[in-house]
Amino acid sequence: MNILLVVHQFFPEFSAGTEVLTLGVARQLRARGHTVRILSGHPGAADCGHAGRRERYWYDDFEVYRFHHAYVPMGGQTSMLEVGSDNRLAALYLRDILAEFRADRVHYFHLNRLGTGLILEAERVGVPQSLTPTDFWVVCPTAQLRLPDGRTCDGPSRHAGNCALHFAQNMVRPRLQGLVRRVPTALADCAVRAAVAVHARAPTQLRELRAMGERLPKSIERLNRLDRIMAPTDFMRDKLMAYGVEPLRIVQIPYGVDLPLNGAVPLAPGPGTVLRIGFIGTLAAHKGAHVLLDAFGQLVPGLATLRIHGGMHEFPDYAARLRAAAAATPGVELAGTFASSEIFGVLAELDVLVVPSLWYENTPLVVYSAQAAGLPVVASDFPGLASAVRDGIDGLLFPPGDALALARQLSRLAESPRLYAQLRAQVRPPKSTATYVTELLRAWQA
């Protein structure tokens, strides 16, 4: 088959979980004789022009089409929300790609920077389509179901009035944010509903309200045109159905993870006198590295070490905060990034991986990689993580954001070799990417 994989960003500039999953699936499909190309979004310049938004390049012998997105008027669209969630120029780009590539299947991993309009273009030429949602972007404008103050959110209200309020809080001066927070969601829903009825040439603020009100129903209507949606967790499946995605389209398929070609995963020998704690992930507030740093600072000095892996440039203000905290805390190393192919060498130098996320994770791939290396995982007690980390069996859970509770769990591991050995002995080997792709192919054929 000719298969087009679609993702919001891609290598070499981006190498987080969604990108790693996309590349792993592409490699497995190619190994089975399929021809794979990739369409990727990319943060682009504001003034590059229509033609300048299209680019081709090669990565790992895959031809990659890249769309340079920016939050500026383009393609006749003036709403920045619409430009991000339903980009007409990106949809036209897909039309041209399909005319050239003749894909037998389009599979989406993420539609940010490209938009759900791609689904209509692929349907127009009769190409089967499917989706693996790696976060909540299809229902939540921020993709993370998080409020401006960092608390978790249940999702958009009936007319997305709460989403409009959340965006307004981020746009007004700090002294006005409290006033915005006190606006009732029902009143905001009424405002959005009224804005949806306003002509598109309305003032900017009304256009954005209109786009906010249209985003969710448009997204759900288009998801219901897909053949299959491969939800990785119960929580994702339930959230999609709660907003109107037809259950018959959803099949639950947890992710797989790349394993060494020879099948041999280097294992750490287990803790000696000092517990080696690790964090691997994007250094952004929602990933919670600061919670781990706070917890580590509460441990008995000399009981453990902490190594934090992640790039310092994507969110520089947050990274500076971590750097200052690490410099004031003995035993902490900011170890930077590494190539995804080196993951098991990095894990072999750890005793436990901590995933202190502050949002509803869809089971980050690093959890599965740690389990492949035989490591216990200590994670925030969110549904997606709790589905992979069995509390008290092969890992430990703690209330999200609770640094004191995390410190207690880490102290338990460091001070009880018996507990550590019990958890490690019951770590289950994860599904491989090869198995995951086999399940994808079966779902496509079904």
Domains of the chain: residue spans and CATH: 2-132+436-445 (3.40.50), 275-425 (3.40.50.2000)
Q: Given this model, what pLDDT does residue 192 score?
A: 75
pLDDT value for 444: 96
3-state secondary structure 64-93: EEEEEECCCCECCECCHHHHHHECHHHHHH
Asked whether the predicted pLDDT for residue 263 surpasses 60, the reply is no
- The model's confidence at residue 116, banded by pLDDT at 50, 70 and 90, is very high
Give the pLDDT score at 258.
86
Spatial CB neighbours of 32, under 8 Å, sequence gap ≥ 6: 437
pLDDT at 190: 79
pLDDT tens across 124-134, in order? 999 999 999 99
pLDDT at 268: 62
Q: What angle do CA 70, 71, 76 make, to 5 degrees?
A: 95
Lowest average pLDDT, out of 62-76, 86-100, 258-272, goes to 258-272
Cβ atoms of residues 278 and 305 within 8 Å: no
Interval 151-186: pLDDT, tens: 898 999 888 888 888 877 766 566 656 666 677 777
Q: Give the model's confidence band at 261: pLDDT under 50 very low, under 70 low, under 90 confident, else very high.
A: low
- What pLDDT does residue 198 have? 66
For residue 224, the model assigns a pLDDT of 98
* pLDDT tops 90 at residue 433: yes
Q: pLDDT category, 187, cuts 50, 70, 90?
A: confident
Position 347 scores a pLDDT of 93
Q: For position 172, what pLDDT does the model report?
A: 58
Of 53, 57, 79, which Cα lies nearest the Cα of 12? 57
User: Which among 430, 300, 301 has a CA at the least distance from the CA of 353?
Assistant: 430
Task: Give the residue-averaged pLDDT of 263-288.
Answer: 83
Which pLDDT score, from 0 to 100, does residue 177 have?
A: 62
Residues 171-181 as b/e (b if ≥16 CB within 10 A, e otherwise) read eeeeeebeebe
**pLDDT of res. 330:** 95
Read off the amino acid at residue 140: C
CB 372 within 8 A of CB 259: yes
Average pLDDT over residues 271-275: 82
Per-residue pLDDT of 289-309, as tens digits, reads 999 999 999 999 999 999 999
What region, left, alpha or beta, does residue 431 occupy, with left being phi > 0 and alpha being psi -120 to 50 degrees? beta
Task: Work out the average pLDDT over 351-360.
Answer: 96
Determine the distance from the C-alpha atom of residue 268 to the mean position of all C-alpha atoms in its chain, rounded to a whole number.
28
- 408-431 average pLDDT score: 94
